[in-house]
Chains A and B, each alone.
Chain A
Amino acid sequence: MSDEHLEDALRARLHETIDPRVPGVPAEQRVFAAVTEAGRVPAGRFGFRPGPRVAAALAAAMAVVVVGGALGISLALRNGNVNGHPAPAATVPPGILPSPSPSDTPAVSAAPSPTSSLAGIQPCAGDVLTASLYDQDGAAGTLGGDIALRNTGKVDCTLKGYVNLQGVIGGRVVQLGVTHSAGGPLLNNNNGTLPTVRLVTLRPGQSAYVAFEDSDVPNGPTPCSSTQTLLITPPQGGRAVTLTRTPVSLCGGFRAKLWIDIAPVSSIPYYNTKIA
């Protein structure tokens, strides 16, 4: 066999042997998500980074714990008890008054929820609120954080329910595919259970929080997008509050093209991983 013939045979045999074993596009996406995560997580935060198989085993174990925990909490709340005792009131900072929590059903929605307020205290208008990113968290392919809404006015005001989110993409304001706790608890429940819809009263200078979760991994044929600016409409409507210089990745999910999931306005941050 000539060298040329030998080389051609070797090429063919290598492809026959190796090609069926090559991991596919999902594997590339997992690797890329891990690298992207490394770019977002401050150095030294994680000393150990699991490989895909370790991550899969950990994810399976965590799913069992989370599902089991959620079932237990759900049953306890249905009975009005936690561990056989009456459920305690939520702990909140002084001056922020939670109201009893009505039940809430996850749903895809683009419109702010109509809500009521305490007598004599008006809903917070966009004019008196400022927005900032309070904290952030992330895992491979999934990101999240809390948006702080601060009352800069001179009188108390209230927030209750879900905000609406729009983004600025290519110079145009676009409606985001906002879901409300669509996947159950958000990605990293560091702070207890997911917030429920409550009336939050803000004194001047105080903040309420909106937890969100988004994805940076393409899901389906639609490419991901991102926005540096969020327009946040308070639950009671009115003028939107602008949050700038905050990159948010927007991929498909839950039948939305620019998916982002949010929790109701809460008196305490959900992720509780304070930046700076």
Chain B
Amino acid sequence: MIDQHLDDRSVSFEAELRPLLGVAMRLATALRLERNDAEDAVQEAALRAWRSRRNRRPGTELRPWFLAIVANQCRETRRGRWASVLRFADPPERASVAVTDTTGSIDMATALRRLPHDVRLAVVLRYYLDLTFDEVATTSGCSVEAARSRVRRGLTALATTLTSSETRP
């Protein structure tokens, strides 16, 4: 029977996960800087999370746990050679959406791509998702001091881009 295949914990997990998909999409987009890659990464991360849901330690909050999986998925996708080779057709509603880049956003995207993954993750979590340093540390899997250090390094690296575009006529 169908109810034999349904697991109450799975249903509860899905209900918990759903509100996090929006922030996960934002995180993945910030790390991958490409809409399709971001959706793929979140889908893979969500399935990973679902398969690993019983491994989550009791008391562990779902949000940082899931965002860490998303971040890892983005890093692995970035490493994979096939990620830069395989390209498939877009679903219709995505193919019709064009991203209009301004000069400033192109500069920022380029600057973000140059950052090491850990630093970029810390910057995005802190300044794009507005997480506290404690949350940045939990999601990044490092100490709070290390999280502060990464954010500082990222801010320093991006300062040139920010100041140069601010002075651009």
Tell me which of A7, A15, A53 has the highest count of chain B C-beta atoms within 10 A of its own C-beta.
Answer: A53
| Residues of B contacting A40 in the complex (Cβ-Cβ under 8 angstroms) | 5-6
Q: Is the interface of A mostly helix, strand, loop or mixed?
A: helix
Whether a CB of chain B sits under 8 angstroms from the CB of A62 is no
Count, A-B residue pairs, CB within 8 A: 159
Interface mask (B76-110 → A, CB under 8 Å = 1, otherwise 0): 00000000000111110110010110101100110
Q: Does B142 reach chain A (CB closer than 8 Å)?
A: no
Q: A32-B18, A38-B50, A53-B89 are in contact. Are A10 and B155 (CB under 8 A)?
A: yes
> Across the interface, do A15 and B47 meet the contact criterion of CB distance under 8 Å?
no
Best-surrounded residue of B4, B30, B91, B102 (most CB of chain A within 10 A) = B91
Shortest Cβ distance from A188 into chain B, in angstroms? 15
Question: Residue A34 contacts which of B25, B30, B47 (CB distance < 8 angstroms)?
Answer: B47
Q: Mark A1-14, 1 if CB is under 8 A from B, else 0.
A: 10100110111011
Number of interface residues of B (CB under 8 A): 61
Q: Assess whether A9 is in contact with B109, with CB atoms less than 8 Å apart.
A: no
Is the Cβ of B35 less than 8 Å from the Cβ of A13? no
Stretch from A23-31, A85-93, A165-173 forming part of the interface with B: A23-31
Alpha-carbon separation in the docked complex, A9 to B98 (Å): 25
A36 surroundings in chain B (CB, below 8 A): 14
Assess whether A119 is interfacial by the CB under 8 Å rule.
no
Chain A residues within an 8 Å CB radius of B46? 31-32, 34-35
Inter-chain CA distance A145–B3, complex, in Å, is 13
CB-contacts of A191-217 with B (<8 A): none
Sample of 15 more A-B contacts, CB < 8 Å, known A16-B105, A23-B42, A32-B14? A7-B127, A11-B130, A13-B162, A16-B104, A23-B25, A27-B25, A31-B21, A32-B17, A32-B18, A39-B6, A51-B43, A53-B91, A56-B90, A247-B3, A276-B4
Q: Give residues in B with beta carbon < 8 Å to A.
A: 1-7, 10-11, 14, 17-18, 21-22, 25-26, 29-30, 33-36, 38-40, 42-44, 46-47, 50-51, 87-91, 93-94, 97, 99-100, 102, 104-105, 108-109, 112, 123-124, 127-128, 130, 155, 158-159, 161-163, 165-166
22 contacts between A and B (CB under 8 A): A6-B162, A10-B155, A14-B30, A14-B123, A16-B108, A18-B33, A28-B22, A30-B91, A31-B46, A35-B50, A38-B47, A39-B11, A39-B14, A39-B50, A40-B5, A52-B39, A52-B91, A57-B89, A133-B2, A136-B5, A245-B1, A276-B1
